[in-house]
Each structure stands twice: as structure tokens, then as C-alpha cells.
Structure 1
Amino acid sequence: MSKISLAALLAGATALTSTAAFAQDADWREEVPVFRIGLLGGENESDRLRQHACQEAYLEERLGVDVELFPASDYAGVLQGLLAGQLEFAGLGSSGYAGIVLQDETAVEPLYTTMQIDGSLGYYSVMYVRADSDIESFEDMEGRTLAFADPNSTSGYLVPSYELAQEIGPLEGYFGETGFGGGHEQAVVAVLQGQYDAGVTWTSGVGDINQGYSRGNLRSMVDRDMLNMDEIRIIWQSNLITNGPRVIRSDLPQELKDLVMGAMMSLQTEDRECFNAINDGEAMGYWPINHEFYLPIINMRRELEGQR
């Protein structure tokens, strides 16, 4: 897992924080002098760092400790970082959270998730093909090639592989070939370049389809001029998937957990531009959740891992 910190760029913001103002909380800050945030892989690393730089500055000011961003090349890097105590905080997909729970159910705590612009707490996995493809529907995918995003992605692997298997039986008997694109963004690029016939990714499923909907990988790529929605056609959509959690390590001081929760729940009103930047588009806000919210996904992942 590569490790890149932007703390030096934000030294000015940190310097504004008075040491005296945090004297009463010195104990936990001595225990956690640096708050490390894991960023999931799947898109250009410099883009991830740029989008999350505002969150780094925002939390440094409110926590009174250095905050560092750690982008991983894939989802597994962040999961391993949390389990090994090398990261304090991260945004995960539901499947990523389930993957941690199945290894160590006490490792992390889910704090909150994202609420879509329609008030829902879920999103969708969609299968897409090139707009000029002769594939008009999912039924045309028999014998064709499919790109999943990442083995630890909820919408990019777990849910589509589970739901499609219930519809068509074993995937290897239906598709000509399946593989992993290395992330949501990379899988879209692979389909556009003709390396796969189709791919799966995530989207809110609400808002303007021509903009890639309100948020999700498609919206993020449209916003960065990497994709025009006229280039692809959506041929399949999953059932609603629980939005992924922001998690914090369970063994951290409770005061730190409370400060992070309070700061992030206020982000949409204190810095709306930053809120949008780190959420891949537009959303209504954050919503507190708990472990029980993810039990269906945890059970789904447990079942699939048992089959393998």
C-alpha cells in the first residue's frame, strides 16, 4: 500500500490550532498523534488525494492532530491497513466492511453513511456496454466477457455476482470470460477500449442520467471528462444496495470517535464543496448507522466465501 501524506501542504492550517486549546485533551492526542485516513483504490491516485485534501485540512483543524491520507492501489490495501492498526479511519463499501467483520468483528465501528438526494440510503450496481455494441440487453451477454471492478467491491463484484448467479446459475457457465478491471474507473476504461464486452459499476440511480446520475463512479468520470454517457448503455441493474459506511477503529479513544463523528456530520453545512468532492457527486448529507444495517451484505459475503 503506497503511503502519501499531504500534511506538509496544510501546515499553515495546523499552525492556527492553539496547543493550549487542546491541553485538556492531551492524553488521547499523545496516544494518537496522527489520524490516518485510508482511501480506496480504483481511480487515479492524484485525483483521490486532490479530492480528499479538503477533508484532511478540515479534520486537522477540528481534531488538533496531524491528518494524513493513505491511498491504496486496491480495496484490500485499506482493509488490511485497518485490520493491522495502520489506519484509523476509512470510507468502505458494504462488502469491504463485511470483509473486515468476517476476519475480526471487533476491528472497526461503522459511524455513518451517505444519504442520496432522494433521501434513500442505498445505490445500485449496473452493467454497462459500449453504446455501439450489438448487446442490447442482459440476455445478449451469454458467451460474452464481463469486467468486475475489485474482489472487495460491493457493487463491482459481490452483489452482481450473487444476484446474477441466482438468475442464471454459475457465472462461468454463462459468460465467455470474467475478470477484474482493477477498480471501477479502470473497468469502464477497459470496456471503452474493447478489452471486455461489459462491466459493472456503482451509481445512485437518481438524478440526470446524462450527468452520470447524482453520484457514483459514472458521475465522477463524467465530471472529470473521462466519460460521456452517450458512450455507454446500461443493460442491467441490481436491487438496492446499502450505502457503504465510514468506519473508525474500535480500539481508539471514545473522545476521538465522538469528535470525528461530530465534525463529519457537520461537513455538509460547514463546507458543502468539500462534502461533494469526497462523495463522488451530489448527496443530501450523512446519516448515522450501525452494524445491523449491514447484516444482509455480511451474510451475502459469508455465503459466497463459503461456496468458494
Structure 2
Amino acid sequence: MITRRSLIVLAVGLAMTTPALAQSWKEKYPELVLALVPAENATGTLDRYTPFVNYLSKELGVKVTMRVASDYTAVIEGQKNKQIHIGFYGPGSYARANTVSGGNVVPFVTTKNSDGSIGYYSVMYVRADSTYKSIEDLKGAKLGFVDVESTSGFKAPNFFLTEQGFPIDKHFKVAQTTGSHENAVLALAAGTVDGAVNWWNSEDDSNLTRMLHKGMVKKPDGAPMKKDDFRIAWKSPLLPGSPFAYLGDMPDDMKKVITKAFVDAPQKDKEAFAKLSDGKDLGFVEVTARDYEESVKMNLWLDAQRKKKAS
């Protein structure tokens, strides 16, 4: 029989156990590691993300430590080995992390662009003073990639260009990795490559526009280059948004708190959130593994191609 006394006892019990539950994951995880693959140089990444990491530490009530990885594989392996709790990926590198971790790397949020869309593109830049205007024109040219685990800088161009009848190994004379998105742009500016692939959100939000804003891209005589000094010769179909992913075997209440902290960031620390994208993004939106099924298929296709070449 439920009495007033039993309800009071139940209420007191809930009041006592709820904080205990909230505290339990913090005791097991007094420090969280957030790892990032730099889309820009390490110094720029630290400057961009430090206020947001400080916000997360305050909001979650535990220390959040940021690590800027040298490449995508470092983040993938770090999460696989559970040394990294939250990783920031491109769709393709997330798919790799999810696979090698046995499904334990789980996407939970991505960003919403300034126009309200979710996702981004891979583009191939050429210099405006070149004769190249389309992918057809680049037959026999030199191409600059980013990293083999980069979606916009390697996976998507390989997948979609092959699908469109322009396989990289046959269409281009040379295809070389440059190591980072910034390096790919700098190689193009210097004339080391004829085309360079990179990420692109919109006309005023891309790796190129961020680099130009910082004055990082210069002509051989040292004069700063402008947006009009480049043009896009190829653009991929829309790719799913780059996700933040956590370890799936962490406590459910912990994962909910982490997700909420990200989603609430634009309201709770507007400046820290705005700094992540120079004020271009509108907010974080929740995602699941189902949103990246096509990315997994892309990875499987690329793996199959590598095996064919190796055999």
C-alpha cells in the first residue's frame, strides 16, 4: 500500500541517489581527453579551441584536456585504445575509427552551417592564372592530397572522381599527399601541384578563406594572395557533417551530459562557440551512426581498391 510516508521516503531516496549517480562517472573519469586533427596549424587550433575546452571543463565539472594530433590515424588509434574519450573527425576517418574500435567510437554531434544546412563538400582548387577550369582540363596534371584518412582531402575525391570516370591514378600524372589541409593550399600557391583538394562549407567559409584571412597564402614575391587568385575546378556531392565522437562504453548518464554541453554551447558560452568557426556555424546538432552509413561504405570501397592494387 502506498502511503504518504512511503512517498516521502521514496522522494528522499531519489534525492540522495541522483547526485550519487551524477558523481559516480566523475569519480571514474576525473579527466577527459578531447583530441583534434588540425585543419590548420597546431597554434591556430589551440587558439580556436581553448575557450571551448575551458567551457566544457566548467560545464562537465571535470578537467578536459585537449590534444592536437599530428594526423587522423593518431586520433583513431587513441580512441581505439581508450586513451581519447572524445575525438573530432571527418566522416571517413570517423567510419575508420568506428570499424577498428568494434563500434565503440560513436558520433554524437556535428555542426549546423550558417545557411542552416548540415554537411560540407570536398573541392579541388586550381590557381586562377592557370589554364585549368574543370576536372577534364587537369588530365595529366599534378594533384595535392591532404591525408589518406581525410574525407575531403582524400577519400571523397578518390571515391567520387572514380565514380564520375576520372580515377585519380589514371587521370593525374602525379597524386601526392601534403600532410594537412593548409599544406595542400600552400603547395598549390607555390606551384608544387596544379590542383589541391580541401574542405569547403560555403563561399565565405572554407579552409582557404580562413588561411587568406590570416594572410597565410602568398605569391612567390611575398604579396598576399586573394580569393580571386583561386577557382574551384571540381566539387563533390554533399558530405555528412564532421562529427565529434565519444567512446560508446562510457556511462550513459555521462554521454548525455557531454552531448548536452555541446548542444547548449551557443547559449551558455557564445564567444567560445563562435570562435570554433569564426562565427560561421549556428550550433551543434545531434547525430547517430546511421547518419554515417554511406561513409562506412566509402571506406569499404577504398579498402577494396587498395587490396586490388596490392595484389
Asked if TM exceeds 0.5, the reply is yes
Amino acid at match of 2:74: G
Matched, 1:41 2:32: no
Matched, 1:153 2:143: no
The question of whether the paired residues in 2 share the 8 Å contact of 1:219 and 1:280 is answered with: no
The question of whether the paired residues in 2 share the 8 Å contact of 1:219 and 1:281 is answered with: no
Matched, 1:113 2:91: no
Matched, 1:101 2:98: yes
1:178 to 168, 172, 175: 175
The question of whether the paired residues in 1 share the 8 Å contact of 2:158 and 2:167 is answered with: no
1:52 to 24, 49, 53: 49
Deviation at 1:42, TM superposition (A): 4.1
User: TM-score, length-normalised on structure 1?
Assistant: 0.86
Q: In structure 1, the residue corresponding to 2:120 is in which secondary structure? A: strand
Deviation at 1:195, TM superposition (A): 0.9
Deviation at 1:196, TM superposition (A): 0.6
Matched, 1:217 2:214: no
Amino acid at match of 1:295: E
Q: Deviations over 1:21-79 (max 9, x none)?
A: x7763321121111100010342111111111111110111111111111111111111
The question of whether the paired residues in 1 share the 8 Å contact of 2:144 and 2:175 is answered with: yes
Moved more, 113-122 or 52-61: 113-122
Give the length in aligned residue pairs. Answer: 280
Q: Distance in 1 between matches of 2:150 and 2:92?
A: 6
Task: Compute the RMSD of aligned alpha carbons.
Answer: 1.6
Matched, 1:61 2:61: no
Q: Distance in 2 between matches of 1:134 and 1:273?
A: 43
Partner of 2:223: none
1:261 to 240, 254, 259: 259
Q: Distance in 2 between matches of 1:254 and 1:280?
A: 32
Q: Distance in 1 between matches of 2:245 and 2:278?
A: 18
Q: Distance in 1 between matches of 2:163 and 2:302?
A: 12
Q: Which runs of 5+ in 1 are unaligned?
A: 1-21
Residue correspondence of structure 1 range 1-308 to structure 2 within 5 A:
25-205=22-202, 209=203, 213=204, 215-227=205-217, 228-279=226-277, 282-308=280-306
Q: Which runs of 5+ in 2 are unaligned?
A: 1-18, 218-225, 307-311
Structure number, greater radius of gyration: 2
User: TM-score, length-normalised on structure 2?
Assistant: 0.85
